[in-house]
Structure 1
């Protein structure tokens, strides 16, 4: 959904230079590309980071687009972490999560995205040597990542274009992170019935995995999250003595490590779903999208 700033309460729109900043001079000629979003208040750093201002209010109205779930929503701070692919300057002044999702969907490696407002200089200072004009513009930016975003890595909040923290101040506000919903999570379990002809109905286990040492056989890492259930069912069928399996997504510090498949020689019910993850060498491993099937006798 698009969130237009013009639909919010009226605000004083900045049209000149920030108080105390030099006016446009002869060296300021090349105007940078911009989304054209509203400049809040007097265009200062404080106006951009005002929780009651139009930018943060627009971001707070946003919701996850189709096929995605929300990972975080922050007043200040864009994502800065591994898996970064590229960014897009959104076309138009609105906080358009669908447009950002479309960019992610069109990139073969994109798993998640971060959308935010950014305070940028009107004039491209790299293309305008000697330009001292500090007039701000507001861009809506969309950063794409090949990994799940981590909330604690959304800490890229301020930059200066001059040495020793001088010059124009960039700031990222209204930052939201979204990740693609896994195939197992987005489709009903009935979608896999064709591959599970010899198995009974699914038992949804949420964020817990089966723990039954007495009947445990082995586990496998699966290749394709899209067909995790069917692939695990096939592994169970091919494993001597297997009559029950549990497939789930393993996460390390919130980042998906892919689907896993645990095989058992006895069926268990949800009361055995007590494995919520573990810690190892300072890393936290957790579970999501857990589901189990038993072979019909």
Structure 2
């Protein structure tokens, strides 16, 4: 009963309603496999950080932040694609092809390999590489989506870089480098890992 209450609290803190899936297989990502398979190792991964820190700034784009542990929540969301590799140039070229696209956010996302449900509350993870398009500038300030809990599984973000093009105009606070704070749910993840006894 206590465990159920904690999981419910974490879901409320994340602001995302947990789903009750049927444990069917979900698509696998092309990002690195992180070991041990828990959110703490994912967020602290030097391998993921290296991809973000070493990524080139695409031509005709300006970097607004790099290697954050959150994804952007800017205005005018234009969808996303998944990538085969952490390639900022491919991400940017897809944005440039869209007349209204002004910025991109590329990052690694820790996702479940199964549709999380009662029978599989904390399945093994896979690492997706996402390229998100925005019709407004992405900044360190509006990059605040640190992830959420779905039952016992933690969806987390790492190696998040943001770039904007000339359509976005001048953006204050660009080239910011920092590790953003994860959501409240992720802050409680280590405690929950101890309770569950098998990590998150």
| 1:147 matches 2:132 | no
Residues 49, 254 of structure 1: CA spacing in aligned structure 2 closer, same or farther, 3 A cutoff?
Answer: closer
Does the CA-based 8 Å contact 2:74-2:136 persist in structure 1? no
Distance 1:84 1:101 in 2: 15
Distance 2:156 2:88 in 1: 20
Partner of 2:111 in structure 1? 120
Q: Which runs of structure 1 show a deviation greater than 6 angstroms over 4 or more consecutive aligned residues?
A: none
Does the CA-based 8 Å contact 1:34-1:89 persist in structure 2? no
Partner of 2:94 in structure 1? 103
Partner of 2:162 in structure 1? 177
Aligned residues: 153
Does the CA-based 8 Å contact 2:61-2:165 persist in structure 1? yes
After TM superposition, give the deviation of residue 81 of structure 1 in Å: 2.3
| 1:43 matches 2:37 | yes
Partner of 2:16 in structure 1? none
1:211-269 Cα shifts (integer Å, max 9, x gaps): xxxxxxxxxxxxxx9xxxxxxxxxxxxxxxxxxxxxxx676x679xxxxxxxxxxxxxx
After TM superposition, give the deviation of residue 144 of structure 1 in Å: 0.6
Question: Helix, strand or coil for the counterpart of 1:46?
Answer: helix
Question: Helix, strand or coil for the counterpart of 1:102?
Answer: helix
Question: Helix, strand or coil for the counterpart of 2:141?
Answer: helix
Distance 1:67 1:118 in 2: 26
| 1:70 matches 2:55 | no
Distance 1:57 1:138 in 2: 15
Partner of 1:60 in structure 2? 53
Distance 1:106 1:45 in 2: 35
Unaligned runs of 5+ in 2: 1-21, 175-200
Residues 74, 38 of structure 1: CA spacing in aligned structure 2 closer, same or farther, 3 A cutoff?
Answer: closer
After TM superposition, give the deviation of residue 120 of structure 1 in Å: 0.4
Question: Helix, strand or coil for the counterpart of 1:178?
Answer: strand
Choose between structure 1 and 2: higher helix proportion: 2
Question: Helix, strand or coil for the counterpart of 1:152?
Answer: coil
| 1:132 matches 2:114 | no
> Which structure would you say has the larger RCO, counting Cα contacts within 8 Å and 6 or more residues apart?
2
After TM superposition, give the deviation of residue 131 of structure 1 in Å: 3.2
Unaligned runs of 5+ in 1: 1-26, 183-224, 226-248, 256-297
Distance 2:115 2:99 in 1: 31
Does the CA-based 8 Å contact 2:64-2:173 persist in structure 1? no
Does the CA-based 8 Å contact 2:102-2:166 persist in structure 1? no
Q: Over aligned residues, Cα RMSD in angstroms?
A: 2.4
Does the CA-based 8 Å contact 1:85-1:145 persist in structure 2? yes
